[in-house]
Structure 1
Amino acid sequence: MFQGVGNFAITGYILYIMTDFLHRGSQTQSSIQLINMVMLVFGILMGLLAGPASDKFKVLKYPVVYSTIFLAIAALALFFFRNTTGILIYAFFAGLGMGLWNALDNLLNLRVIPDQDRVAFFLGVYNLGNTVTQAIAPIIAAAVISIFGYSAIFFVSFGFALVGGICMLQIKSVAR
């Protein structure tokens, strides 16, 4: 849930980040296309590799935690490297993180459902949690940006991603 807020805050504002924070000007469109292409490639790659690797090595929780760390790194890349290198680092780590997350998060959710007779209910609660955080993320991002400026959104995104990872580490019913 926290990861969703942090990730949406960055990706939902990528056009504004390119124009108002990085001042890409005429390079804005190509920068966004580059981000989308790199994220797509690495997201698909991780999606194809993460599931079989998780099954083979019997790990599930840690790769999902790593996905939040990758997203946290991605958030800071744009802040520290305000150029094409930062955009590539952001896209690479965001693609890895989102690919891992999308490949394994639902399985992790299924493994922690407390009552297997009420799976639909708990998946509905999970979906509600995702929907609410994506609805709240633009409000949080707008408030953070208006009060502290664009720079702060990267640290807020970093923080939410790390909090999400820490919360997942607390899961006791899935060992690794």
Structure 2
Amino acid sequence: MSTTAPEGGRIPITVHRLDPGLPLPAYAHPGDGGADLHTAVDLVLAPGERATVPTGLAIALPDGYAAFVHPRSGLAARSGVTMVNAPGTIDAGYRGEIKVILLNTDRETPVKLTRGDRIAQLVVQRVEHAVFVEADSLPESDRGTGGFGSTGGHAAQR
């Protein structure tokens, strides 16, 4: 079943609450780009440990949209918790539970998360569907074939 999005700034997203005890994704402040996702379980992440954490939610995105799961900056700054596959991509056709792959980057301190804690942010964006056209060569550009770090910006490279 295909859903379509109306024109305008607000996109209705159908949510199936797999765990009725958890809140729907919500924006903490007007104008925020990411809506908070919560953990459906209690867990402790040991130093260097990763876990796939359920959110108790599944969504139906309109065709032409994708949702991207981003780490929470406060959780990263305070506890060293980030996401292994940041951002995680949720395609419009996916209907399964949203899960977040968390990683504790702290070398010494375990991180305790309690059911209902905010663990990630969901950013919904319109996405284009590319048509890939093979060519024998690419047009020239100012950057050319320069790879990682080729544009500078770090004092150690100078």
**Higher strand fraction: Structure 1 or Structure 2?**
2
Larger Cα-atom Rg? 2
When normalised by structure 2's length, the TM-score is: 0.25
**Higher helix fraction: Structure 1 or Structure 2?**
1
When normalised by structure 1's length, the TM-score is: 0.23
